[in-house]
């Protein structure tokens, strides 16, 4: 990263899932991500304002996540801020949780937390500082190495969503929406632990709803990150964005058996 070094007294959130969800060795990690990205053709696709990307182990969801991140390559120098929002898997809480950290570490280096945006969202009554929720969480961490590979110089605003309404999420996204320099990343998998055929049917319906910017029928059975997704859909509809489905598979397509699969989808939101 080109950003100035983090302040000496600032808290760095260490990588909790390196060696589990993705390789801990920097060279191997970068090579794996670049191999995923090399499989994606991005010619003619607009650079999105927002994306939805999966967050499972790279063996399972990496090939699908690559579709969401590859389309950012043309804006490598332009995107300077990334608002990263996902569902809390380990700690229960009300509202949205900021990390309180000054940077997030991965094997590819530290990513600085955007101090201005972090202070801005604390003005929302739904946002609370809760480092304990971020400490073990994988859903934001696994997106960072992809971002570090496709973008040049950027800060992040990491937010976890607990017991919050779509209006809560939408209000916070509106606060930090910014301009072309700001990217919104929603981290979510799709259906969980159905057989392959059932998952395919369920995920097709979910994808149709997301593309239609319709969050009314989404719930925890559709996607673990349904609350962040619904917040984004509400803002996208108000702001006149269009959603494109980039790729959809499940763990039965990428790795593992087809008896109990997890669904993964990549989606991009843009004004054209």
Domain-embedded: residue 3: no
Q: How far apart are CA 180 and CA 173, in angstroms?
A: 14
- pLDDT score of 5: 52
- pLDDT score of 1: 43
Domain-embedded: residue 35: yes
Check the CA dihedral 150-152-158-164 and report its sign: negative
Q: How far apart are CA 193 and CA 230, in angstroms?
A: 22
- Listed in order, strand segments (DSSP E) in 162-215 are 182-187, 192-194
- pLDDT score of 208: 98
Domain-embedded: residue 203: yes
Q: How many CB atoms within 10 Å of residue 240?
A: 8
Structural domain count, the chain = 1
HSE at residue 161, side-chain half, CA atoms within 13 A, is: 28
User: What's the domain range around 17?
Assistant: 12-270
- pLDDT score of 194: 97
Domain-embedded: residue 102: yes
- pLDDT score of 6: 55
Per-residue model confidence as pLDDT tens for the chain (272 residues)? 444 455 556 799 999 999 999 999 999 999 999 999 999 998 788 999 999 999 999 999 999 999 999 999 999 999 999 999 999 999 999 999 999 999 999 999 999 999 999 999 999 999 999 999 999 999 999 999 999 999 999 999 999 999 999 999 999 999 999 999 999 999 999 999 999 999 999 999 999 999 999 999 899 999 999 999 999 999 999 999 999 999 999 999 999 899 999 999 999 999 98
- pLDDT score of 239: 98
Domain-embedded: residue 2: no
Check the CA dihedral 65-60-145-90 and report its sign: positive
What CATH number does the domain containing 111 carry? 3.40.830.10
Domain-embedded: residue 113: yes
Domain-embedded: residue 1: no
Mean pLDDT of all residues belonging to the chain: 95
Three-state DSSP class for residue 123: coil
Domain-embedded: residue 6: no
Residue 140 Ramachandran class (φ > 0 left, ψ -120 to 50 alpha, else beta): alpha
For residue 224, which of 65, 62, 86 has the smallest C-alpha distance? 86
């Amino acid at each position: 990263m080109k950003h100035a070094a983090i302040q000496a007294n600032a808290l760095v959130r260490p990588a909790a899932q390196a060696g589990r969800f993705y390789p801990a060795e920097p060279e191997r990690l970068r090579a794996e991500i670049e191999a995923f990205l090399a499989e994606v053709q991005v010619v003619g696709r607009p650079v999105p304002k927002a994306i939805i990307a999966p967050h499972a182990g790279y063996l399972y969801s990496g090939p699908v996540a690559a579709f969401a991140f590859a389309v950012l390559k043309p804006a490598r120098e332009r995107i300077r801020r990334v608002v990263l929002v996902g569902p809390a898997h380990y700690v229960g809480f009300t509202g949205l949780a900021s990390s309180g950290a000054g940077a997030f570490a991965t094997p590819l280096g530290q990513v600085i937390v955007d101090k201005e945006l972090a202070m801005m969202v604390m003005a929302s009554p739904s946002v609370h500082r809760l480092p304990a929720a971020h400490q073990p969480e994988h859903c934001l961490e696994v997106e960072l190495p992809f971002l570090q590979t496709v973008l040049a110089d950027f800060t992040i605003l990491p937010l976890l969503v607990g017991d919050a309404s779509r209006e809560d999420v939408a209000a916070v996204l509106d606060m930090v929406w910014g301009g072309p320099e700001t990217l919104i990343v929603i981290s979510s998998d799709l259906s969980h632990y159905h057989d392959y055929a059932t998952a395919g049917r369920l995920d097709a319906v979910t994808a149709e709803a997301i593309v239609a910017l319709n969050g009314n029928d989404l719930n925890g059975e559709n996607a673990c990150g349904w609350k962040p997704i619904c917040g984004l859909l509400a803002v996208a509809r108000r702001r006149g964005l269009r959603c494109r489905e980039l790729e959809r598979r499940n763990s039965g397509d990428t790795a593992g058996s087809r008896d109990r699969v997890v669904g993964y989808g990549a989606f991009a939101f843009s004004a054209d």
